[in-house]
Each structure stands twice: as C-alpha cells, then as structure tokens.
Amino acid sequence: MSTRLPTRRILAGLVTTAALAGGLGAAAAAPAHADDQPTRTKVTVKIAHCDGCTVHLVQAIEGEQDVWQSRVRDVVDGEAHFSVPVEHTAGMSLDFTAPWENHIGAVTTAAFHYPGHQVGDKVTKSDALGRSRASGCFAGTDQRHLTLRLRAVQIPVQEEGKGTGTTLFAVHSTAFDKPMYRAYHGRLGTQDATWCRLP
C-alpha cells in the first residue's frame, strides 16, 4: 500500500533536491533572498514648521472589521518616525492635529493625491486649496524606508462655528488607493477612520 506524503514534505524534498543539483552556491543564496524581503517599513513623516503637531497612522480597509493603528507621535524638528509592518502600509492613512486647530468637527487627515496629478507631481498650495476631491489612502510599499513629505496650511473652517483647520497634503503626489473623498479647500477629515479600498 502506498503512503501519500503531506504536500509540505513533498515540496521540502523538491527544494532540497534542487539545491543539491545547483551546488553549494545556489543553496547559500536562498537564505539571502529571504532576507531581502523586509517585514517592517521605517516611515518618516516630514512636516515643516509644525512642532507641536501630532501624527497617527491608520489602516482601515473596506470590508474588514479590524482597524490597525500606530501610536500617536509628536512632530519634533519637523519629523515623526514610525516602524510599520509592511502589510499595514497598503491603504494607510494619516491623522493629524495641530496647536492652531479649533472648532473643527473632524480630525484632519493627509491628502496623498488630488485628481489630475501623476505620481511624483509637485503639488502647490494654490492647487491643493482649490481641490474638492482627494484620496487619503496611501497605496503601500514593500521597501524598508518610506519618507512622506507633507505640507500643512492653515485654513478658516465653519464646522463647529468659526475656527481654524488644516489642509494637509503630500508635497509630491503619491501612489494612492481609492476612494476619492470630498474635500473642503483640499482638506480631508474623518470622525471615524479613513476607509480605503484595496485594488
């Protein structure tokens, strides 16, 4: 009577045979390839003239119940730093607070992309403030390091009476995920989480 080996053992045998056939050089190269796949991404958020501001990374995916969140980080000398599992960078959004904000009914979120731009296009202040739609969903990365350069512009708002809010946008348009949310003078905000739709 024949005995059927588990698939995992069969695959392991095939891998071992291939390594021996290719010589010691091929066998030694396999672990190095595995090491090339990072499990975490070091995210640096850069926002000039924003000491006292805070940033917070969130991943909320449409159709999923679990929401991943980073710790809240202070912006110090124009930067905030995070270590994020790679799988949480796809559909990632960024929540923001600033000392000047008041009487706003929603937490400010970063606009990573405005319609009509290509990835890498420079986004000016006047361009951002003239927008009524934006994506707050970053497309993700499999790299070890990611730098997000953002610009914070104070704007008048009338959400809970007259107040001051922030239009926060990527200095260069990034790869993004849908949907496109309604924006007020380029400003995105949320009272819950920025839900993103993965392709």
Domain definitions of the chain by residue range = 1-36, 40-196
> Residue 19's pLDDT is what?
41
Q: Are 173 and 92 in contact (CB under 8 A)?
A: no
> Residue 21's pLDDT is what?
41
Q: Which amino acid appears at position 103 of this protein? A: H
pTM of the model as a whole:
0.81
pLDDT < 50 stretches in the chain:
1-32
What is the radius of gyration, based on Cα positions, of the chain?
Answer: 22
The neighbouring-strand residues paired with 40 are: 85
Chain position carrying tokens 């975490």: 40
Largest CA distance in the chain: 82
- 110 to 21, 75, 168: CA distances (angstroms): 52, 15, 5
**Nearest-10 crossing angle of helices 7-22, 24-35:** 120
Torsion of CA 156, 174, 60, 71, to 10 degrees: -80
Return the structure tokens found at 111. 């606009």
> Residue 34's pLDDT is what?
54
| Contacts (Cβ under 8 Å, ≥6 apart) of 56 | 69, 70, 71, 72, 73, 94, 95, 96
The Cα–Cα gap between 189 and 58 comes to: 13
Q: Quote the strand ranges of the chain, DSSP E.
A: 40-47, 54-61, 67-69, 73-74, 79-85, 92-97, 107-109, 133-134, 137-138, 145-158, 162-170, 176-177, 181-182, 188-190, 195-196
> Residue 15's pLDDT is what?
38
